[in-house]
Chains A and B, each alone.
Chain A
Amino acid sequence: TQLLEQSPQFLSIQEGENLTVYCNSSSVFSSLQWYRQEPGEGPVLLVTVVTGGEVKKLKRLTFQFGDARKDSSLHITAAQPGDTGLYLCAGTNTDKLIFGTGTRLQVFP
Chain B
Amino acid sequence: DSGVTQTPKHLITATGQRVTLRCSPRSGDLSVYWYQQSLDQGLQFLIQYYNGEERAKGNILERFSAQQFPDLHSELNLSSLELGDSALYFCASTAAAGPSYEQYFGPGTRLTVT
Q: Which residues of A pack against B, CB within 8 Å?
A: 30-31, 33, 40-45, 48, 50, 88, 90, 92-93, 95-102
Contacts and interface: CB of A to CB of B under 8 A. Distances in A.
Given A97-B33, A97-B45, 7 more contacts: A41-B107, A42-B92, A43-B43, A43-B90, A93-B99, A95-B48, A96-B56
- Nearest 7 CB-CB pairs, A to B? A42-B105, A99-B43, A95-B56, A97-B99, A92-B100, A92-B99, A45-B102
Interface string B69-82: 00000000000000
Interface in B49-72: 55-56, 58
Contacts of A33: 100, 102
Contacts of A102: 42-43
A41 B107 CA distance: 5
Interface of B: 2, 4, 33, 35, 42-45, 48, 55-56, 58, 90, 92, 98-100, 102-103, 105-108
A96 B107 contact: no
A97 B42 contact: no
A99 B105 contact: no
A31 B107 contact: no
13 contacts: A30-B100, A33-B100, A42-B4, A42-B90, A42-B107, A50-B100, A88-B42, A95-B56, A96-B56, A96-B99, A97-B99, A97-B103, A102-B43
A96 B2 contact: no
A41 to B, nearest CB: 6
A40 B105 CA distance: 12
Given A44-B2, A93-B99, A99 B42 contact: yes
Nearest to A97: B99
A31 B2 contact: no
